[in-house]
Structure 1
Amino acid sequence: MRPNALRLCLCLLLASLTAQAGGTLRVLAWPGYADPDLVQAFERQHDARVEVTFVTTDDDLWERASAQGGESFDVLAVNLAELQRLVNRGLVVPIKPDGIPNTRHQLKRFRDPATLPALQRDGKLYAVPYTYAEMGLIYNRKLVKTTPTSMAALWEPRYRGRILLYEGSSHNFSMAALLAGISNPFQLSDANFNKTVKQLIALRANRPLLYSSPEDVVKLFRTKPVALAFGNYGGQQIKALRASGQDVGYIIPSEGALAWLDCWAVMMGGRDNPLASAWINYTLNRDVSRQLTLRHGLSNTIEPSTDSTEEDKLVWLQPVEDPERRAQFWQRILSGYRRGMF
């Protein structure tokens, strides 16, 4: 072989090996799921580049995940309810369990298909559990002298202008429906939908402040006389608030609390990217998962929770009847627009 041809072959071989060793991983996740130092450690291990996009509401996640038919990202963190929506639209692909050996470290209830059938469809695995939390009620001990027992406290006129609500639409509908005693807060009939809308209009009249992240909550507690907050992020919010010096309490309401289980799923964009499975496996490393709890107050799927949460009161999120309709009406409620709502 001539020297120039040999040199060309060697260059092509090196380029091929580099491509195999490196590459780019596009991650769509929630705050706290991809801390910079942990991302950098993954990049060093795999000689790769990781691009992380954070979302703060399910509405935002859906908009980004559904763009370009799921080709915009390789892997995403999504709760079980939203996962069904992604599977239905063909935006995520089945996961090969053999490519994620660290699942063997997970607690049995998170790796036994019988306990979480929503992870599978037609016998194929579509997601791997990562973290979970309940959505309880946070109260400021300095402003709320008697410990509340129900989410109904958010509607009390004495707290007008001093309550925090999560910005996303779907959870607010489900929370209000659960409080109203609707048997299935995730599948609302037209009559129950209208009933819930009226409840949310009444809640809007209590002049709530809105937040989208745990950091927002800390900032608002520091700058506003916040008495009560719907704790969409559960323990993550409590940890952040207490770390900032806030004297807050936290309860699981008597009517029960919505609870989410976030999982990693592989999107259409990552179907041929080995880094997608490598990332999921990496986050299930015992030391990496533990950081969820140590840094952010979130429960992980590796270690038993030390929280005294009343688990019999937890209502695990399910797919809702019409997420687009919920989002549309929630924006109308926030804006005060009511024409044609009923």
Structure 2
Amino acid sequence: MSYRCPLWVMPLIFFLSLPVQADEQTLRVLAWPGYADSDVVAGFEKRFNVKVEVTMVGSDEVLRSKMTENQGGNFDVIAANTAEVHYYADQGLLQPLRPERIANTSRQLPRFRDYSRIPDVVVDGRIYAIPYVWSDMGLIYDRKQFSQPPESITSMWDPKFRGSVLAFNTSNHNFSLASLSLGGDPFRIEAADFPRVSEQLIALRRNVLTFYSLPEEAAELFRRHNVALLFANYGRQQLKQLRDAGIDVGYVIPREGALAWLDCWAISRGARDPVLANVWINYMLEPGVSNLLTERQGLPNTLQEPNEGGPSNRLIWLRPVEDDKRRTELWQRIVSGERPPLVQQ
């Protein structure tokens, strides 16, 4: 009787068959908090007898600055959303991937293996990223303050909730939300429409309690200030945090749809050991590892459907926007209380 080697073993055999070089045995990982916890990293190091250096980021802006230093040569494998993957691929900062060399991709849900239908994973006919974790960015609401769940994203602008709304401090997503609330394209705002969208954001600034940066900060503000409505930039991770804190909250996808992010693993052009980077991606797609992320952070992984509110047909996956720089400059003026010249009367 012949013995067939399990698929998941193949990347390990390939890696262990290579000559050992001391300067190639450290894997440099650039990721978000919760994606590479110390026990997960220790398990990888022990199994493959290598060292892992993890650098954490808290925003796409910081991630981009890290990746553009030394043309991506400071890291081997990164976690980034699909819109950022497209940007990095266009800049020549990533290596194309061969999913068939990452055996655990076969464990993923079919929709995460159909790369042709996932925006920005395929660039110029090449696959640059493997989906890992995702979330819609819905609305979290205090059940005590709503007789019915909010139906529209425009609830964030409702005057009766003035001072009890939390929004995320970011330029791209807020312009996308404002455009969406006005019935426009969230990622392609025409020049003639910027004044109207900017006015909508000025109105939002006046209605919110504040703009938060981290999910822990939002949870504390929600608890202390009797917040009614929260735009969940971190999605279901924030829902879990609030419920774990004993707060009675609900979660909805508004009728206009919800922005949604899909974070992927990608390999930097400057990776010193692409094979080891593939082994890392394969390891992160093991059920035990992916499920830990879901249990700890409340984020859906790509191996199984979420426990609450499965995939929605109203998800709007993040895409590259028409002008990052313009959005950033205008947002800095808006959030500081300065009226942008673009929208002055």
Same fold (TM over 0.5): yes
Give the C-alpha shift of residue 72 in structure 1.
Answer: 2.4
For residues 266-285 of structure 1, what are the structure 2 equivalents within 5 Å? 266-270=267-271, 272-285=273-286
1:194 CA displacement: 2.3
2:176 matched to 1:174?
Answer: yes
Match of 1:34 in 2: 36
Match of 2:63 among 52, 61, 70: 61
Letter in 1 for 2:216: E
RMSD, aligned CA: 2.1
User: Which runs of structure 2 are paired with 1:4-19 in the superposition (5 Å)?
Assistant: 19=21
Distance 1:122 1:310, change over 3 A: closer
The 5 Å alignment of 1:1-342 reads: 19=21, 23-116=25-118, 118-182=120-184, 184-270=185-271, 272-309=273-310, 311-342=312-343
Check the 8 A contact 2:168/2:233 in 1, yes or no: yes
CA distance in 2: counterparts of 1:341 and 1:274, whole angstroms:
49
Displacement of 1:319 after TM fit?
Answer: 1.1
Does the Cα contact within 8 Å between 2:140 and 2:251 map onto a contact in 1? yes
Residues 14-42 of structure 1, C-alpha deviations (whole Å, 9 max, x = no match) = xx966359722222222221122111111
Counterparts of 2:53 and 2:129, CA distance in 1: 20
Give SS of 1:249's match. Answer: strand
Q: 1 CA distance for matches of 2:337 and 2:206?
A: 9
For the 8 Å contact 2:77–2:271, the answer to whether it is kept is yes
Specify the SS of the correspondent of 1:312. coil
Letter in 2 for 1:34: A
**Alpha-carbon offset, residue 98 of structure 1:** 4.0
What whole-Å deviation, never above 9, does each CA across 1:84-143 have from its counterpart, x for those lacking one?
111111111112334311111111111123322632223322000011111111111233
Question: Is the contact made by 2:24 and 2:272 (CA closer than 8 Å) also made in structure 1?
Answer: no
Q: How far off its partner does 1:152 sit?
A: 1.1
Q: SS at 1:299's partner residue? A: coil
Structure-2 change in CA distance of 1:338 and 1:271 (3 Å): farther
Name the aligned partner's letter for residue 295 of structure 2.
Answer: L
Distance 1:192 1:271, change over 3 A: farther
1:138, 1:251 within 8 Å by CA — same for their partners in 2?
yes
Maintained 8 Å contact 2:334/2:340: no
Verify the 8 A CA contact 1:21 1:46 in the aligned structure 2: no
1:193 alignment partner AA: F
Q: 99-108 vs 17-26, which deviates more?
A: 17-26
CA positional deviation for 1:273: 4.1
* 4+ residue runs over 6 A deviation: none
Q: State how many pairs are aligned.
A: 326
* Gap change, CA 1:207 and 1:304, over 3 Å in 2: closer
Greater gyration radius: 1
- Residues 45-104 of structure 1 show CA distances to partners (whole Å, capped at 9, x for unaligned) of 222222222222222222222222222222111111121111111111112334311111
Return the TM-score normalized by structure 2: 0.88
CA distance in 2, matches of 1:94, 1:18: 24
For residue 205 of structure 1, give the secondary structure of its aligned residue in structure 2: helix
TM-score w.r.t. the length of structure 1 is 0.88
Greater mean deviation of Cα atoms: 78-87 or 90-99? 90-99
Aligned-pair distance for 1:317?
1.3
Q: Any conservation in 2 of the 1:59–1:327 contact (CA below 8 Å)?
A: no
Residue by residue over 1:286-313, the C-alpha shift from the partner in whole angstroms, topping out at 9 and shown as x without a partner, is 1111122222111111113333246121
Structure 1 residues 169-178 or 210-219, which shifts more?
210-219
Please state how far the C-alpha of 1:269 moved relative to its aligned partner: 2.7
1:195-236: CA deviation from partner (whole Å, max 9, x where unpaired)? 211110110112432222322222222332222110112111
How many percent identity over aligned positions? 48
User: Does the aligned pair in 2 maintain the 1:164–1:208 contact within 8 Å?
Assistant: yes
Unaligned runs of 5+ in 2: 1-17
Counterpart residue number, 2:3? none
Distance 2:340 2:23 in 1: 57
Contact kept, 8 Å, 1:22 with 1:46, in 2: the verdict is no
Q: What letter corresponds to residue 165 of structure 2 in structure 1?
A: I
Please list every run of 5 or more consecutive structure 1 residues that lacks an aligned counterpart in the other structure.
Answer: 1-15
1:99/1:278 contact within 8 Å kept: no
The CA distance in 1 between the partners of 2:316 and 2:208, in whole Å, is 27
